[in-house]
Amino acid sequence: MILTVTLNTALDITYQVPALTPHATHRVTEVAERPGGKGLNVARVLAALGHDTVVTGFAGGPVGAVLRDLLAPLPPRDALVPIAGATRRTIAVVDHATGDTTQLNEPGPTITADEWAALLATFDRLLGEARAVALCGSLPPGVHVGAYAELVRRARAAGVPVLLDTSGEPLRRGIAARPDLVKPNADELAQLTGAREPLRAARDARRRGAGAVVASLGAEGMVAAVPGGVWQAVPPAPVRGNPTGAGDSAVAALLAGLVGEQPWPERLAHAVALATATVLAGAAGEFDRAAYEELLPRVLVRDRAAAA
């Protein structure tokens, strides 16, 4: 199975309104709720691709109970660790006419030392059956900034390939623990390395400890600095839609490629096609399957070793 870790899970709530006007009162016309947090989205996409997936992380309080109830009928298996605090909500307010989204993210519950110890025990146990693990998203309050570094070390000690998808100081510390793969976006990569040019920044991130670096460049696709090569993969044409979750779908494709031992150009083509098909579907954890299959052979993957 493939394991995903979401330390800051969320109940993702979407509101449809005619148009959001600051300081006015809005009648919400439609309410949707789904289990959220990057690792849960990744697991949902992996499950849709036919992979056995397990999710861990934290869930608690009434919102955590709703999240687990919504997760129960879905394919990813629930190995979330119960906490005393209450799982956070995120609210996406969608303007009905334009599709523009205003996002409100609660900070999340504070994790205690005992709860973190319980997560580590669960993680170690699940590593025993994992073929790969992804560590996804922000850290909730109370979890130390070196938490991902600690999880990376444990995964490596267990011989399980580990992908890290986070940002800021947790990414910086996590990379030093030598994960097999990191997937920052261009901004996160620039913040980490100080280099604005993505290829150069990706190679810099590898020197800091990442086995491979795949950076997402939005509409321009992805660049990858990996053992033995530097690649760029570009979607065949720009698409319009909701980019929420596109990065999570790319992570899912990269994990699938990792366990399937695909050559890197193939992995990147899948990641770009799946991310693009997610923009078209417009919801994190979902993708347009027909678009994915149609896009896949049309993704352009170029060897950039000469440029780097």
Of positions 1, 75, 79, 95, contacts a copy of itself by CB under 8 A: 95
Q: Is 100 in the site for a copy of itself (CB under 8 A)?
A: yes
- Interface map 230-269 toward a copy of itself (x if CB under 8 A): ----------------------------------------
Site residues for a copy of itself, 46-65, by CB under 8 A, read: 62-63, 65
Q: Is residue 118 helix, strand or coil?
A: helix
Separation CA 247–CA 198 (nearest Å): 16
Q: Nearer to a copy of itself by C-beta: 24 or 306?
A: 24
Q: Identify the active-site residue in 12, 204, 248, 288.
A: 248
Separation CA 68–CA 62 (nearest Å): 10
Q: Spell out the residues 6+ positions from residue 49 whose beta carbon is closer than 8 angstroms to its own.
A: 252, 253, 256
* The residue to which tokens 């596109």 are assigned: 246
Q: Nearer to a copy of itself by C-beta: 23 or 240?
A: 23
Residue 131 φ then ψ, to 5°: -95, -20
Q: Is 129 in the site for a copy of itself (CB under 8 A)?
A: no
Of positions 32, 52, 103, 207, contacts a copy of itself by CB under 8 A: 103
Q: Is residue 104 helix, strand or coil?
A: strand
Q: Nearer to a copy of itself by C-beta: 29 or 125?
A: 29
Residue 297, both tokens: 């052979």
* The residue to which tokens 């016309």 are assigned: 29
Decide if 288 is catalytic: no
Q: What is the 3-state secondary structure (H, E, C) of 153-215?
A: HHHHHCCCCEEEECCHHHHHHHHHCCCCEECCEHHHHHHHHCCCCHHHHHHHHHHCCCCCEEE
Q: Is 31 in the site for a copy of itself (CB under 8 A)?
A: yes
Which of 97-105, 120-128, 200-208, 274-282 is the region at the interface with a copy of itself (rule: CB under 8 A)? 97-105
Q: Is residue 218 helix, strand or coil?
A: helix
Of positions 3, 17, 202, 224, contacts a copy of itself by CB under 8 A: 17
Which of 39-47, 93-101, 122-130, 253-261 is the region at the interface with a copy of itself (rule: CB under 8 A)? 93-101
- Using CB under 8 A as the criterion, which residues of the chain lie in contact with a copy of itself when the complex forms? 15, 17, 20-29, 31, 62-63, 65-66, 69, 91, 93, 95, 100-107
- Active-site residue numbers? 248
